[in-house]
Structure formats: C-alpha cells, structure tokens
Amino acid sequence: MPAVLVVWGIIGYRIFSGIVPSHKKSEEIVMLTPFQPKEVIKKEVFELKLDYRDPFLGTLSIREKKIIKPKPRVKDSIVFPNISYKGIFSSSNNSNTIFLVMIDGNQEMFKKHETHQQVKLLKGDKKKITIKYKTEKKIFYLQ
C-alpha cells in the first residue's frame, strides 16, 4: 500500500508541477549588433541530359517528339437554295415513288438517290425528305 501511494504521489507531483510553472526570472538578451539578413544568392539551374543507355533494358531512351496538332478548319457555311417539300406520288410499287420538291421556285420530280441542281434526294416518306446539298444533309417536312 505505501508503494502505491508513493507512485501516485509522484504522478500527482509531476502533473501539478506541469500545470503551475516555476517562478524563475528570465534574463533579457541584449543584442550588441543590429540584425542584418544575409543576401539571397541565386542558385544555379541544372538540366539533366537523359540521353544515356538504360542500365536495365540496355537500350537508349527515346524522347517523344511534341505532336503539333493542326488547327481545325472552319467549315464554310453552305447556303441551301430555297427548298420546300410539296408531296409524294406513289404507285403500287414503292421503288417508283416520286417526290415533288420546289427548288428556288422550280418544281422538280425526284426519285430516291436522284440529283437535280446539285440537290440529291437521299430518302423520304409521306411526312419528310432528307436532302443532301454539296456536303451537308438537311431534313425538310411536308408543307
């Protein structure tokens, strides 16, 4: 029992002495010379040359060349002629379907994959047709 009291007494003393600081006076340090920071010296910059043989593979390292991507071309805007879909004529055979299309005020009769005035009819049905003019495709609905 006395050993337990001694151990707990030491632990209590250390906690108490840590909480309450000792009352020692600190001495002030007087500087005889004023503070002067050292000059900043620029460091030399080194570049590593990695053109040596790989010690494990036995080959020279190959630097990858920078790939310069070409700038994307701006598409020329294609102006479609004034086109309107007027209707469809069909016989009993679907391969002979004829579409009536107005191009700049002129009536044209198209079959599928037929071209008039640089306008090609790609596909169509009773409600709409798909037309290709030069390189662009566009859908026109029945008017």
CATH of the domain at 130: 2.30.30
Residue 74 belongs to some domain of the structure? no
Q: Which tokens sit at 57?
A: 């593979």
Structural domain including 115 reads 83-141
Give residue 123's identity as a one-letter amino acid code: K
64 close to 78: Cβ distance less than 8 angstroms: no
Residue 34 lies in a domain: no
The answer to whether the pTM exceeds 0.75 is no
For residues 10 and 18, give the distance between their C-alpha atoms in angstroms, rounded to a whole number.
12
Task: Show pLDDT as tens, one digit a residue, over the chain (143 residues).
Answer: 999 999 999 999 988 887 876 666 556 667 777 878 888 888 888 887 777 777 777 766 566 667 788 888 776 778 888 999 998 887 656 667 889 999 998 898 888 889 988 899 999 888 999 999 988 899 999 88
Residue appearing with tokens 């016989």: 91
* Domains in the chain, number: 1
Structure tokens at 93: 């055979």
For residue 64, tell me if it sits in a domain: no
In a domain, 77, yes or no: no
Distance CA 51, CA 86 (A): 72
Q: Is residue 98 part of a domain?
A: yes
Residue 126: inside a domain, yes or no? yes
